Amino acid sequence: MKQRSLQIKALILISLAVLAAIGYLTINVNPKYAAYAMELRVPKLLVMLVTAFCIGGASIVFQTLIQNKIVTPCLLGMNSLYALIHTAVVFFLGSGSLIARHPQLSFVVDLVIMGGASILIYGTLFKKMKHQILYVLLAGTVMSTFFSSMQTTLTRIMDPNEYDALLGSLVASFSNVNSSLLLISTVLITGILVVLRRELKLLDVLALGKNQAINLGVDVDKTNRRLLLGVTILIAIATALVGPISFLGLIIANLSRQLFQTYRHSWLIFGSALLGMIVLVGGQLAVEHLFAYSIPISVLITIGGGFYFLVLLLGKGRQQVW
């Protein structure tokens, strides 16, 4: 009966995601220019799918590792590091530099720096802190503040014209998607899933708690370290692809948990990715057709996520967070 209920809920989400995708591809499209419209909209739709999967899956895994449902991977500082990288490029090299103008090169630079930072900071720090993951979370919060402070300092002394050129890259947007980045992102994500396939199968056991997982024969410290690195790299891919979207993971991960109410992470990650697709497509439709591109999608998600976060905090008083 439980399995049947999960399947029905999944089918409803799939239907909503498909309807949202069809609506996004067809709304306000002149039949004469349908082919041209598809060339613009299909890559955006695929990027939304990739972004939703990365952020949704990473958020579910991260919450399981932390054993808390009101945390998101953005606490690891990848969003702040992304803003610092782009600000530093414009500040030191200029908005007309090759890195700033070439999307593929910019994407590679973002991934190399953010991926290297995650391995250096969180991989090494996890060992130094004797595999205490909450200390790593605290360190991520401190690093996020540090990166934000450096980025703010650079923008204060930056040439105003260069700052205007920088602003567009600091806000998440699906308006100017480079389809060539999709293949790189898909290959990287597939590689991460293959490398971490064993650890991902252990998520249901890790959700029971560290002591129970150890009693069941799981090397918890090693598994947590590898999964944490996978989470940071997935967030780095999504951020490098479209920009920082802070509250998206919090929204879709918790909605998935509330909807499916199961310990099976395969269902939770699947539901989170579909919900992310629905939220992103709905948000992009609002950006394009209601606000005429005057408000970026990240602002809408941040406002909605802020209210949802307050709801979760108020609910914490009546029940346990985990």
* Residue 226, both tokens: 């590898």
Return the CATH number at 29: 1.10.3470.10
Residue 160's domain spans which residues? 2-316
Q: Is residue 199 part of a domain?
A: yes
Q: Is residue 36 part of a domain?
A: yes
Q: Angle, to 10 degrees, between the axis of helix 103-117 and the axis of helix 180-195?
A: 20
Q: Is residue 322 part of a domain?
A: no
Q: How does pLDDT run along the chain (322 residues), one tens digit per residue? A: 578 889 999 999 999 999 999 999 999 888 888 888 898 889 889 999 999 999 999 999 999 988 888 888 887 888 889 999 999 999 999 888 888 888 888 888 988 898 888 777 776 777 777 667 777 778 788 888 899 999 999 999 988 888 888 887 787 777 777 777 888 899 999 999 999 999 999 999 999 888 899 998 899 888 988 898 899 889 989 988 888 887 899 899 999 999 999 989 999 999 999 999 999 999 899 888 888 888 888 888 888 888 888 888 777 544 544 4
Q: Is residue 321 part of a domain?
A: no
Q: Is residue 107 part of a domain?
A: yes
Q: How many domains does the chain have?
A: 1
Q: Is residue 19 part of a domain?
A: yes
| Cβ(228)–Cβ(126) below 8 Å | yes
Q: Is residue 287 part of a domain?
A: yes
pTM score of the predicted model? 0.89
Q: Is residue 252 part of a domain?
A: yes
Say what the pLDDT of residue 257 is. 93
Can you tell me whether residue 25 is helix, strand or coil?
helix
* Residue 265, both tokens: 């992470």
Say what the pLDDT of residue 278 is. 94
- Determine phi and psi for 291, rounding to 5 degrees: -105, 0
